[in-house]
Amino acid sequence: MAKGMILAAGQGTRVRPLTKDLPKPMVPILDKPVMEYLVERLAAHGVRQIMVNVAWNHHKIEQYFRDGRRWGVEIGYSYEGVYEHGDILPRPLGSAGGMKRIQDMSGFFDETTIVLCGDALVDLDITAALAEHRAKGALASVVTLPVPREQVGNYGIVVADEDGRVVSFQEKPRPEEARSNLASTGIYIFEPAVLDLVPSGRVFDIGAELFPLLVERGLPFYAQSRPFHWIDIGRVSDYWSVLQRVISGEIADLCMPGTEVRPGVWVGLNTRIDFDRVQVTGPVYIGSSVRLEEGCSIVGPAWIGHGSHLRAGSRVERSVLFEYTRIGAGMLFQDMIVSPSYCVDRHGRATYVGDDRCPLRWGDARA
């Protein structure tokens, strides 16, 4: 039917500290890496062969997904880096350059390929997108979504004619200069001939370089605009928003794990909640082996990672606790992402354990 490509070589600097020790596609959403949702969606639409380009912390992606058989697919990896002075150094080739490297090595892209960025949640109907691409006889397609005019400065904007044929691009234009409000979602569909346009052995970007080349040469390049959820995790504040929307049930096919013990309250294994001694207001997911001491409360949307510990009288509101996070007695964590070593507010401001300027107390539940 089609092949798949997941772009996963980026460093994720804008979402630190979440990516301090993790590649961005491995950032968790309800105890699963964001990239796992993409693999599942590709598999559900009949895509059985998937290539992933990797660089920063590549081994964490490779060790988790391995050959892909858990998801009924076959996954391969293309590492982008060099061996220099005894060290292995990541050196990404850009979104198009990474695909060209794969093509030069094996000719993998020998049929229609759908390309996804590894750091976004989507519920796109891939089957319908592929059908539209083929019906139009497109060489390349970019999936777009309309965004509010005042937000166009955050996106690459696609300008298309009445038939959907792409005529130009604007990279993060000012609202008064934008010729369209269709934002590129980083989801592309390519025929093999597209990669003939990409030079070998150098950094080359899809949006900044390949797409303008397609337009310049007048090739059949189309924009698709269809309704679906696209949640890009570009910044830490985006990640907080993503989790709030996921826990609230906005994203199709993203089901809460665990068992629903009360309306809007899901609980993992080996966790007992005494509702006479604690207060839990959903939607909330409480992972396995979580300890809730008397008088603590959780107000959703919230996700409490497995192995976490809420001390007596603590309160967690609209927040996310990564696994093995301990919240100090009487502490209030509101609109936060909290790990055993740092916490980040909804605006992306980070604080680390041991900072005496911070009144909050938390730590590692295993200590």
pLDDT in 10s for each residue of the chain, 367 residues? 899 999 998 876 666 677 677 788 888 887 788 899 999 999 999 999 999 999 888 889 999 999 999 999 999 999 988 777 777 778 888 999 999 999 999 999 999 999 999 988 888 999 999 999 999 999 999 999 998 998 888 888 999 998 999 999 888 889 899 999 999 999 999 999 999 999 999 999 998 899 999 999 999 999 999 888 887 776 677 777 777 777 877 766 677 888 999 999 999 999 999 999 999 998 999 999 999 999 999 998 999 999 999 999 999 999 999 999 999 999 999 999 899 999 988 888 888 988 888 899 999 999 8
pLDDT number for residue 329: 96
Domain with CATH 3.90.550.10 in the chain: 3-232
The answer to whether the bond into 301 is cis (omega within 30° of 0) is: yes
Nearest to 308 by CA among 260, 268, 360, 366: 366
Domain with CATH 2.160.10 in the chain: 256-364
Give the CATH fold of the 256-364 domain. UDP N-Acetylglucosamine Acyltransferase; domain 1 (2.160.10)
Write the CATH number of the domain with boundaries 3-232. 3.90.550.10
Residues contacting residue 102 through CB under 8 Å, at least 6 positions apart: 5, 51, 53, 78, 108, 109
Alpha-helix runs per DSSP H in the chain: 34-44, 58-65, 95-106, 126-135, 211-216, 236-247
pLDDT number for residue 153: 86
pLDDT number for residue 15: 63
Nearest to 96 by CA among 174, 154, 9: 9
Distances (CA, A) of 153 to 181, 207, 231: 10, 15, 17
pLDDT number for residue 12: 60
- Exposure string over 216-251, b if 16+ CB within 10 A, otherwise e: eeebebbbbeeebbbbbbbebbbbbebbbbbbeeeb
- Exposure string over 141-167, b if 16+ CB within 10 A, otherwise e: bbbbbebeeeebbebbbbbbeeebbbe
Nearest to 229 by CA among 246, 244, 214, 212: 246
